Amino acid sequence: MNRFIKVLRIIGQVLVLSSITLLAYPLIELKIPGKRIFTDQGQIGMSVFGALFFIIASGLLLNSIIMFTQNHWRNYRLIASIIIVILVFLVILPRENYVKSVLGKPKLSFNRINKNEKYATATIKIRLFNNGRFLSETYDAHLNNENMGNYTFENGNLSLDFHNEKPEYMGTELKIINDTLSCLNCTEKVKLI
């Protein structure tokens, strides 16, 4: 019977540690540049994930510290505590740190609030980085969409090559005139300042 209880404890601890890791994954993935796509309703779900993650992580960390001091499965408790601390660090690390580590220093940034009948109100933001990559963010009434890609810049002409699907508000050929970015192949006239 003692062996059966020990096996159940091990299974329980593995399930709890796996649950924490699974809850942390979408919270960390949203911080990775180019992976940020969510709706207003999706933010509610992410809030629930975040709350569950911090409650379970706090409980397991406290349990691991108490059991470690009582010499109960010391190696496992130490490993579990390290994993929890790393996951919590990755979840609470500001997003800009992820952007800087992946894309480097920004070179230029353009913003625009586009108001027209077809698209309601859409905010477009493009950041160009020194390493030839860009990050574009579009927000409208129901969706936040972020895309990454490479750019080439010659004679005031900016060409964007999206890694994933191009957003509907953006084009791939743009021109910079007096600190204003004008889209040359957009369906709607878009200028970014």
Average pLDDT, the chain: 85
What is the rounded average pLDDT of the residues 61-86? 91
Query: Looking at residue 165, what DSSP letter applies?
Result: P
CATH assignment of 104-192?
2.40.128.300
The model's confidence at residue 120, banded by pLDDT at 50, 70 and 90, is low
Yes or no: say if 158 and 171 are a contact pair by the CB < 8 Å rule. Answer: no
- Mean pLDDT is lowest, of 34-38, 84-88, 98-102, 116-120, for 116-120
Mean pLDDT of all residues in 9-32: 90
Query: Would you say 137 and 131 are in contact if contact means Cβ atoms under 8 Å apart?
Result: no
Q: What is the pLDDT of residues 132-161, one digit of tens each?
A: 999 988 887 777 888 899 999 888 888 999
Host H or E run for residue 59: helix 40-69
pLDDT per position as a tens digit, 166-177: 877 778 888 887
Q: What is the CA radius of gyration of the chain?
A: 23
Q: Which element (helix H / strand E) includes 71?
A: none
Per-residue pLDDT at 107 exceeds 80: yes
Report the distance separating Cα 172 and Cα 192, nearest Å.
14
